[in-house]
Amino acid sequence: MVFVNSMSDLFHKDIPEAFIRRVVEVALSLPRHVFQILTKRPGRAASFFRRHADLLPDGSLPRHIWMGTSIENEKAEYRASQLQGVPAQVRFLSFEPLLGPVDPSLRGIHWVIAGGESGVGFRPVDLDWIRSLRDSCIRKRVPFFFKQVGGRTPKAGGRMLDGRTWDGFPSVRVDQAPSRTRKVAG
């Protein structure tokens, strides 16, 4: 499992398309690994894949490349609909840190992650916001993962919600041997 750019954003406006393409080519060449790509810019990701459709001979990213977007409050809910434009077989939403109530569409979503903020000056999460997301996931049969309550440190508030941990995860079969061999420039 590879979390691409865990502390940055592959689709930031200052990242050159040639660099993004190289990252995608590497991920395509390694189907034995799952690549999680999280962005706050799913609109740019969708545009990128329209312009670079040659990377997707089957019309979509293979199941080992997951595309997700961050949504921190209702003002950012539009990102969920933009994510629909990304030709991915596995899409996920990350509500971390969740800073307000949300009610996004879960259409075409295969996983939801939620959690509170941590660190100095953290903003507390209202667990009713988390419960609302969890309940939507249960209704829509979308795996739900509760990462943390948050606090001064990531583990300060724990991971329990209503007396249990929520460790939902997408059911994804990944090829163990390369099914598509690509020459990766380099």
Task: Write the pLDDT tens digit of every residue in 135-147.
Answer: 999 999 999 999 9
Q: In the beta sheet, which residues pair with residue 61?
A: 88
Residue 170 forms part of a structural domain: no
Residue 168 placed within a domain? no
- 92: domain range? 2-148
Rounded CA gap, 30 and 4, in Å? 13
Helix, strand, coil content of the chain in percent (nearest 5): 25, 20, 55
- pTM here is 0.91
Band (171; pLDDT cuts 50, 70, 90): confident
Quick check: 184 pLDDT over 60? Answer: no
Cα maximum dimension of the chain: 50
pLDDT surpasses 60 at 48: yes
Query: Is 43 a member of any domain?
Result: yes
Instruction: Give yes or no for a contact between 33 and 66, defined as CB atoms under 8 angstroms apart.
Output: no
* Strand residues in the chain grouped as ranges (E): 2-4, 35-39, 65-70, 91-95, 111-115, 144-148
Q: What is the pLDDT of residues 105-124, one digit of tens each?
A: 999 999 999 999 999 999 99
In a domain? residue 58: yes
Q: Is residue 179 part of a domain?
A: no
How many Å from the N-terminal Cα to the C-terminal Cα in the chain? 23
Each residue's pLDDT tens digit, 57-69: 899 999 999 999 9
Six-digit token string for 60: 């979509």
**Residues 30, 63, 49, 103: what is their CA dihedral angle, to the nearest 10 degrees?**
-140
Q: Is 155 within a domain?
A: no
Domain count for the chain: 1
With respect to residue 184, please indicate whether it lies within any of the assigned structural domains. Answer: no
**Which of the 8 DSSP states describes residue 46?**
H
Indicate whether 182 belongs to any domain. Answer: no
Strands 35-39 and 91-95: unpaired
**Nearest to 38, CA basis, from 62, 11, 57:** 11
